[in-house]
Structure 1
């Protein structure tokens, strides 16, 4: 079990949320807080973030809420976070996202499922031509790969054993979150909505007034329609997409069953609310979900996106599933940390965890008659090139 740290650099894990409802769910996953009586750790000069500190399992964790949604807000928080908490090894971006439903496949996504990123694609970064948008897709434009430690961890969740262990742990944590919420009289917030509220319409079937007489505006898909429920707009249930896993779940699965998906996550500054564009972009880039902050954090700190699916990123999206999806994401976040192997910290004076380099011996005198530079000490490898003395 982690002990209360004495300094900021003893925190290894950060959890970052974009919305207050995401923050609330993540906070319920903490085992204890270090700042109940006030902050004692401070922050670096120039850092404007507000932090909550505590423990999740064996790790000391710092929790932060973005001041604004989107990539810029996430990048700003990540940069300041790294300046104040210099010992960070992993940041978990936790919250809600829009899922790519992928019906009739083995990767069918339902509301309440959780997505773990193996990569993040900045799908809205490119050039807009007449009638066509082309994403910038060069080596310099794409986000980098996660480090080997993160790749190894995420890859383990693609195995049957790794996924089963993660799911079992997350299910237990979800119960703990509800127990903690009940103490605050908020348990009902994290109950799974009824399955009848998990509706997926055909990609091209829009959420709009069916008759212009229903609204005095010039467009069927007006702001009034966008804010209305499907029942109010009489969205045709005959246009619902049939899904094998959804049907099976209605017949046999327990109410709290959710799946965990590992894949590429699309990140952009716009909210995806189009079934046709969702499927086109997801197909082009192999995406399983859409969100708005991952691209901002990805290159700033070692990061994994862990988000619960609260809608299908189409025009029928609503907020009914947000709290439950935030809770399933927080559950997977904590279960993931339980599978994250703690690495020994290097002793004082050692570098990169490999031990301090031996001090070089005294340089011998320049050989008699030598001309040009003479190198003393090892010159080894393409990566670790050390030139000790040059004469």
Structure 2
């Protein structure tokens, strides 16, 4: 496939085990090419395919479709010559794949547990266009790409001699059906359209091959597509697979046809992409984040506008566009074009606004009206192409609001304190593993958390990763004599964990619970990522600080004798003055989990619960007492209760309410760029 890339660049990132090539391939739009990221899997199995694809999508979040091109074993068909697959042929999975490795046994019959969905309809339509073209030209114009040069290395991909295409049936060689019946043209591959079977099974059994092919109407077998499909589906993007045939899934397997079959699959993919419009995505630059996939003439039009921008405080524009989360480039910028080019290499944050567009929007508000209008027209055009119209509309409203309140750094007027935000998220594929990310807020002036190095680890070793983050933060705070805090940013399915009792000083005789040294709160990762929930979240948070500031409690159903979650949720939604929810039980249980999700969706930023089920009367009394006074005091008061539990007599510690109180304290003005799977 790399042979067909234009202007390929090699990319290697420290936190990604894959090697990449990035380049262009022609599309159906003569003015725009596809931006393509290419990688090769080190092993042929579904698990490795899923891991490779997931790493790629994590590194390049702008990818909008994954195409799997490679080799497979074909299904010969002596009884139905029109479906007879030969070596060097191409099988195009327009009907998807059958994951026959994940089955349900019913009455002794194995059936796939669920269909594999997500085939890219854009590429299916491109394939249909190629089919129509083939009626006019039986070979298709792309066949010319299958005649590589005689010199190495391309000579390796020449079509093998026809006598190497041996068909064995029940241990003896048999002739292929006549080409007039199969539709084959001498020296050329035939294109087959249908379904491919996939499993972590190297198929070498003729009888099993034929039984599965007959049952599921399969044309070929391979070992990766199911993993790629699962990974792509988890990221909400389409996938497609094209395979060149190298053997017949029998014991006569060899490598003679591998190079040529690889070439046929790659050539067909190139032809298919040539009939497909470019996807509206953000492309990737080597070692960087997202960069706009824009035709040269559109970038040129923006550059022409930015070249008219003079006498701006570029550092102020940068801060306004990035929120100061990103340091200025190491080389001093020479102008607006310089800064745009640098920002074009950065990922969008949680608000989904590409920094490059935010920068142009910010410049538009600081130049003369005519130039500003043209810059905003360019932003609007790009937002429409990238399906970000609503996102940019909300961003523009936030910018105007910020200007009206004269760049107040925190909409709720809350003091920013040094803190450490630690994100823990399950791997998504391996339930025993997770990813730990963290951000350090060094100062107390502006919210400007600095990211640390993410770490992949097993759940059972998560405390070691957390300890490394804490030690990094403490090194950054060494000259700070004020209070600091720790926030655990967790997906909803981990919020019930007693994270404040995770330990540091693991090598010491008595490892120390985190809550003894810091106020510890949890935060909702899922809500932070769900930008469509941010408006109600911000409004509910502001309510806490309106005069007179305070917590207005809303108790769980067990406390209020309410049985219906629908009625409980409706009253919470109806009363915007309710600021703080106390759950009936831990989210580990159904009642608490339902109330937690309802409270998060309603924008509630302060939620407490007793990890015992149900909420204990003594804990309820302590919570009611702790929520009196100024709202800012609550995390400290909860820490006092936890310290009391840790220092109680040994036989009393497990029963002490402070051992079981959880606090979600989720300031919507202090978000981080939480990466995701």
Q: TM-score range, shorter-chain basis?
A: 0.5 to 0.7
Question: Is the aligned partner of 1:170 residue 2:142?
Answer: yes
In the other structure, the counterpart of 2:198 is: 267
Distance 1:108 1:341 in 2: 32
Q: 1:251-290 deviations in whole A, cap 9, x for unaligned?
A: xx442x1111121111111111111111110111111110
Does 2:129 align with 1:152?
A: no
For 1:89, the equivalent position in structure 2 comes to 64
Mean CA deviation greater in 269-278 or 159-168: 159-168
Aligned match of 2:46: 71
Q: 1:101 aligns with which of 76, 82, 91?
A: 76
Aligned counterpart in structure 2 of residue 355 of structure 1, from 389, 394, 404: 389
Q: Which of residues 80, 92, 98 is equivalent to 1:116?
A: 92
Give the Cα separation in 2 of the matches to 1:88 and 1:111: 32
2:254 to 305, 314, 318: 318
Q: 1:246 to 1:112 in 2, by over 3 A?
A: farther
Which SS does the other structure have where 2:390 is aligned?
A: coil
Q: Residue 291 of structure 1: CA displacement?
A: 0.5
Q: Which has the higher contact order (CA 8 A, sep 6+)?
A: 1
Displacement of 1:117: 1.2
2: distance between equivalents of 1:166 and 1:269? 36
Match of 2:115 in 1: 142
- Alpha-carbon distance in structure 2 between the residues aligned to 1:60 and 1:164: 30
Give secondary structure in 2 for the equivalent of 1:300: helix
Q: Output aligned runs, 1:185-224, within 5 Å.
A: 185-202=152-169, 205-206=170-171
Are 2:271 and 1:335 equivalent residues in the alignment?
yes
Q: CA deviation at 1:98?
A: 0.4
Change (3 A) 1:120 1:174: same
For residue 15 of structure 1, what is the aligned residue in structure 2? none
Cα 1:343–1:249, aligned 2, differ >3 Å: closer, same or farther?
A: closer
Determine helix, strand or coil for the equivalent of 1:299. Answer: helix
CA distance in 2, matches of 1:133, 1:280: 12
Check the 8 A contact 1:268/1:293 in 2, yes or no.
yes
Are 1:244 and 2:142 counterparts? no
C-alpha distance 243-343 of structure 1, shift in aligned 2 (>3 A):
same
- Between structure 1 and structure 2, the one with the greater Rg is 2
- Alignment partner of 1:55 is 2:55: no
Q: 1:190 to 1:279 in 2, by over 3 A?
A: same
Shift of 1:168: 2.2
Q: Tell me the equivalent position of 1:220.
A: none
Deviation at 1:76, TM superposition (A): 0.1
Where structure 1 has 5 or more consecutive residues not aligned to the other structure, the ranges are 1-25, 207-235, 363-370, 375-386
Q: After superposing the two structures, state which structure 1 stretch, 91-100 or 313-322, moved more.
A: 313-322
Q: 1:248 to 1:292 in 2, by over 3 A?
A: closer
SS at match of 1:353: coil
- Equivalent residue for 1:12? none
Q: CA RMSD in A?
A: 3.6
Residue equivalent to 2:133: 161
Deviation at 1:156, TM superposition (A): 4.0
Consecutive unaligned residues in structure 2, runs of 5 or more: 27-32, 233-237, 283-353, 359-382, 402-569, 575-600, 604-677
**Distance in 2 of aligned mates of 1:187 and 1:343:** 30
Give the secondary structure class of the aligned counterpart of 1:77.
helix
Question: What are the Cα deviations for residues 18-69 of structure 1, in whole angstroms up to 9, with x where unaligned?
Answer: xxxxxxxx2222233223xxx4xx54x7432221222333223222111222
8 A Cα contact 2:101 2:200, kept in partner: yes
Closer, same or farther in 2 for the Cα pair 1:46/1:282, shift >3 Å?
A: same
TM-score, length-scaled by structure 2: 0.39
Matches of 2:260 and 2:248, distance apart in 1: 15
Q: Deviations over 1:328-365 (max 9, x none)?
A: 112112111211211445994748616226569x9xxx
Shift of 1:128: 6.6
Query: Which of 215, 220, 242 is 1:284 aligned to?
Result: 215
Match of 2:102 in 1: 125
Relative to its length, the structure with more helix (as a share) is 2
